[in-house]
A and B are shown apart, each in its own frame.
Chain A
Amino acid sequence: MMIAAYGLSKFFPVRGAFRATTSLKAVDDVGLKIQNEQVVGLVGESGSGKSTVGRCLIRLLNPTDGEVLFDVPDSELAEYEQARAAGATERVDAIAARFSLLRRSTSELRAVRRLVNIVFQDPYSSLNPRMKLSTIIGEPMISTRFCTRAEADIRARELLGEVGLPEFFEDRYPHELSGGQRQRVAIARAISTNPKLLILDEPTSALDVSVQAQILNLLRGLREKYGMSMLLITHNIAVVAYLAEYVYVMYAGKIMEWGAKGKVLRDPQHPYTKALMSSVPVIGETRTRSILRGDPPNLISPPLACRFHPRCPVAFEVCGWSPEEVAEDLEFLVGGKYYGTFGDGVRLTVEGDRTIIIQGTTEVQKIQELVDLEKEDVRSLKSIQAIDVADGATSVRLHEAIEPEMYPSPDGREVKCLLFRLDASAPAAMAPRSAG
């Protein structure tokens, strides 16, 4: 196993003007594995935390929590996972001490830096404008003591040829190059120390399609030649389809689904992945889309339980509806579409974390009718468990939320959606695939 991350989290502190310091949960409990010589894609919208995961994996950022094991033999990894599941702290520590990236000191990391490298998104800002290309490409070789300065110069020239640039470019400066050429230089720099793992953080998003195709083919060629593992972080699903073997889908700091590329892209299971795939415009195809409402959530106070539930077209009782969300939707209906039924004077207040009090009406029957009629469209109403009358007001009680985990699916993928929870306590209507 090239690299394996468990429970990786990164919280960034956010200081408000008057509020106490809170944290932005950019990455929350993410697990990810890359086998030797494997290309893994990590897709998600902007702000979903995919770049942060990439940086935490190679300790360009220090994760808040979690463990990253690097270059660990498969047998030891299996043992580690067993020990972790069983809670055998000593055994876990023993293995982690040998392979963990997070427990290495800065000087030890320097040796690791030779084995991992990263290509950044923007080729315009990731190359130092005051350095010649030979210096830029040689820098990682010298700083990791991969070779001497003289050797680095010779190798820089070879690498230029390797990425399809003429050798006389060694004396040029970045501003003389086009975007595609710069990205080639960034790739040459990243492969200069023969790394085993290459992190590609949006390698083609700043480039035109014709140049993007060149870079994709270059990356594919390099991988075949050197057999390195790659983590391809991108929002462009077609790029992942072109290069990767496995795909992880991220949303709001969590992994939503992962599995073999063909399965995840062609037959997505998680409602978010489905919506994501149907949003990708494809030439010469008009499809029915599932358009997601709204926008990705604020990660300072993310939605309860499943972070996707407010936008999910198939969310149900236990997905994590908060009384505030339900009250807002209910208020909208009572004051708008069902105004004729209830009229003015209906007030909704939230009490505690599971109850809503409706003042001004005690007509449980009518509220129940409204809920039954609307709950297929307004998914939050599904979470209403019971409606009672108490003290001249109506109280609406909600279901308890369940935090979703990664549920394995028979075809080898894992999906973080309660629809795939296969235990007996799940309501009958929740069998996988019934969501359609």
Chain B
Amino acid sequence: MSDALAIRDLHVQFHTRRGVYKALNGVDLGLRRGEVLGIAGESGCGKTTMGLAVMSLLPRNASIPRGQVIFDNKDLVNLPREYAERVGDRFKPKEHERILRRVGKALARIRGRRISMVFQEPMTSLNPVLSIGFQVAETVYVHDPALLARRVLARSKTTPQIMREVLTLLGATQGGEAALRKFAADHDLVGLEEQVLFVWRREDVHISRKEKAIRSLAGQSMKPWERKIIETVAKSGSIPPQFARVPVLSKLVRRILLKEGSRKARELLTSLGIHHAERVVKMFPHELSGGMRQRVVIAIALANNPEIVIMDEPTSAVDVTVQAQILELVKQIRTSVSASFIVISHDLAVLAEVSDRIAIMYAGRIVEVAPTAEILHHPLHPYTQMLISAIPTLEGKSVEGIKGEVPDMRAPPGGCAFHPRCPFAFEKCNSVVPIDFRQGDDQLVACWLYEGK
């Protein structure tokens, strides 16, 4: 099977007043379908830049001189690069507004919808003046209004009679998802099944209460003209321009769909282990604890069933007990959601818990990629070895720092960027950038020590 995402020879530079900062210098990395890929490295090695480059969220002073990020046979960085080439060195928002809008539109189809990201600080990535429910709902409303429209319609079309059939079906198939999906499609009720299944799968509620809740989904009244509008949205897949242009209509659509989105937010948050989600959706970010905020941010990232989720330091702002909760949650969602994950962290122990493979970054390059067990027990690259021996353990074994500092990326050292700090460096390391050498089954290491082995 082909990779879910492939990064090929990616270079990213930041143009600053003090010179060109070469943040990424040829990253080669493949994300396999359904896996969790951990990315580790010291601060300033380009982990976050890589995540942002994949999302095309790089700031304006960044340029991508070379490289590709291939997702679904398309090159994601090509669009922004094309734009950068056309505008040249100077950014002139007025002159290039049209190009900018076109690039933004093309990216919006992918970003947040098929690839989403959990940002570093949950405190700053949530808007403090909007309620949690709104912020989750908004993501769905912007990217997939048809989903919300279908959900509203399905509820308004169901009758108590249909709901009884649904309940018998659920009882007969023990909550069979496929059967329910088929039933919904047959009865033109697509969008109902996920609402029913959400209630059905709750474990903390008595069965008769669930049945009552499912029955109450039926027959919510809707004015005929409202229904007509929502039907159009459901059919066209986005909010048609004839509504978007008329303020009264666009407001109406927005109101109905955001309300539905808030309902979906409640389901999402409950599935991520938040109790009393109906209360939480009405709260504001400052009312939540760090762990809850992190769950909300994860909920927003998962809201549109993305194919790839990038998590940037999901646990570095929280305490160790909450970190344990979040790690368990990540393990749980990777089994329930069919997405591939990239988890970025400076803490190898965190990555060891959740990831299938780990990539080690140094100075804007991947120096080693291997399955988790391999990299922890048989690290090959000298940097990986030293990084692992620098981690203090509960046993209090002696730790070894890596001498020297992370290089200045405005003038990175020639050859292998690690050679000034590497105890095994020899002449070749100073001059020639190492290529990836395959070791064992699935281990790639970029170090000349392994040439010809």
Contacts of B208 in A (CB 8 A): 339-340
Per the bound structure, the CA–CA distance linking A241 and B395 in Å amounts to 6
B85 within 8 A of A: no
**Contact, CB under 8 Å: B325 / A292:** yes
Listed residue (A46, A236, A266, A281) with the most chain B CB atoms within 10 angstroms of its CB: A281
Contact with B along A248-276 (1 / 0, CB 8 A): 00000000000001000110000000011
Contacts of A235 in B (CB 8 A): 319-320
**Contact, CB under 8 Å: A283 / B205:** no
Contact with B along A6-22 (1 / 0, CB 8 A): 00000000000000000
* Cβ distance B407 to chain A, nearest Cβ, rounded Å: 11
Per the bound structure, the CA–CA distance linking A178 and B408 in Å amounts to 11
Per the bound structure, the CA–CA distance linking A5 and B83 in Å amounts to 65
Contacts of A337 in B (CB 8 A): 204-206
Given the interface pairs A212-B390, A276-B321, the reply to whether A289 lies near B400 with Cβ below 8 Å is no
Contacts of A237 in B (CB 8 A): 320, 394
**Contact, CB under 8 Å: B289 / A295:** yes
A238 within 8 A of B: yes
B352 within 8 A of A: yes
Contacts of A266 in B (CB 8 A): 394
Q: B59-67, B215-223, B341-349: which lies at the A interface?
A: B341-349
**Contact, CB under 8 Å: A281 / B390:** no
**Contact, CB under 8 Å: B325 / A336:** no
Identity of the chain B residue whose Cβ is nearest the Cβ of A46 in the assembled complex: B319
Which of B207, B322, B387, B393 is the one whose CB lies under 8 Å from A282?
B393
Give the residues from 380 to 404 in chain B that come closer than 8 angstroms, CB to CB, to chain A: 386-388, 390-396, 399-403
A330 within 8 A of B: no
Per the bound structure, the CA–CA distance linking A292 and B207 in Å amounts to 27
**Contact, CB under 8 Å: A289 / B328:** yes
B232 within 8 A of A: no
**Contact, CB under 8 Å: B349 / A281:** yes
* Cβ distance B335 to chain A, nearest Cβ, rounded Å: 16
Contacts of B441 in A (CB 8 A): none
Contacts of B319 in A (CB 8 A): 45-46, 235, 296
Contact with B along A270-302 (1 / 0, CB 8 A): 000001111111111010010110011000000
**Contact, CB under 8 Å: B324 / A216:** no
**Contact, CB under 8 Å: B391 / A178:** no
Identity of the chain A residue whose Cβ is nearest the Cβ of B207 in the assembled complex: A340
Per the bound structure, the CA–CA distance linking A286 and B349 in Å amounts to 11
Which of A214, A279, A332 is the one whose CB lies under 8 Å from B323?
A279
B445 within 8 A of A: no
**Contact, CB under 8 Å: A281 / B289:** no
Contacts of A295 in B (CB 8 A): 289-292, 322
**Contact, CB under 8 Å: A276 / B352:** no
B377 within 8 A of A: yes
Per the bound structure, the CA–CA distance linking A30 and B403 in Å amounts to 40
Identity of the chain B residue whose Cβ is nearest the Cβ of A237 in the assembled complex: B394
A315 within 8 A of B: no
Per the bound structure, the CA–CA distance linking A54 and B223 in Å amounts to 65
* Cβ distance A257 to chain B, nearest Cβ, rounded Å: 15
B121 within 8 A of A: no
Contacts of A2 in B (CB 8 A): none
A338 within 8 A of B: yes
**Contact, CB under 8 Å: A210 / B402:** yes
Contacts of B328 in A (CB 8 A): 289, 291
Contacts of A291 in B (CB 8 A): 321, 324-325, 328
**Contact, CB under 8 Å: B392 / A238:** yes
Give the residues from 26 to 52 in chain B that come closer than 8 angstroms, CB to CB, to chain A: 42-43
Give the residues from 283 to 315 in chain B that come closer than 8 angstroms, CB to CB, to chain A: 289-292
Contacts of A239 in B (CB 8 A): 392
B405 within 8 A of A: yes
A226 within 8 A of B: no
B209 within 8 A of A: yes
Per the bound structure, the CA–CA distance linking A216 and B390 in Å amounts to 10
**Contact, CB under 8 Å: A283 / B388:** yes
Give the residues from 315 to 333 in chain A that come closer than 8 angstroms, CB to CB, to chain B: 332
Per the bound structure, the CA–CA distance linking A341 and B209 in Å amounts to 11
Contacts of B387 in A (CB 8 A): 209-210
Contacts of B393 in A (CB 8 A): 238, 241, 282-283
Per the bound structure, the CA–CA distance linking A208 and B291 in Å amounts to 23
Contacts of B346 in A (CB 8 A): 208-209
A335 within 8 A of B: yes
**Contact, CB under 8 Å: A284 / B320:** no
**Contact, CB under 8 Å: A213 / B320:** no
* Cβ distance B277 to chain A, nearest Cβ, rounded Å: 13
A409 within 8 A of B: no
B327 within 8 A of A: yes
Per the bound structure, the CA–CA distance linking A213 and B328 in Å amounts to 28
**Contact, CB under 8 Å: A208 / B42:** yes
* Cβ distance B319 to chain A, nearest Cβ, rounded Å: 4
* Cβ distance B243 to chain A, nearest Cβ, rounded Å: 40
A-B contact list, 14 entries, CB within 8 Å: A208-B42, A208-B346, A209-B391, A210-B401, A213-B400, A216-B392, A236-B392, A237-B394, A242-B396, A295-B292, A296-B289, A337-B204, A339-B205, A340-B209
8 extra interchain contacts, Cβ-Cβ under 8 A, other than A281-B353, A283-B391, A340-B207? A45-B322, A181-B405, A210-B387, A279-B321, A282-B393, A284-B373, A295-B292, A336-B209
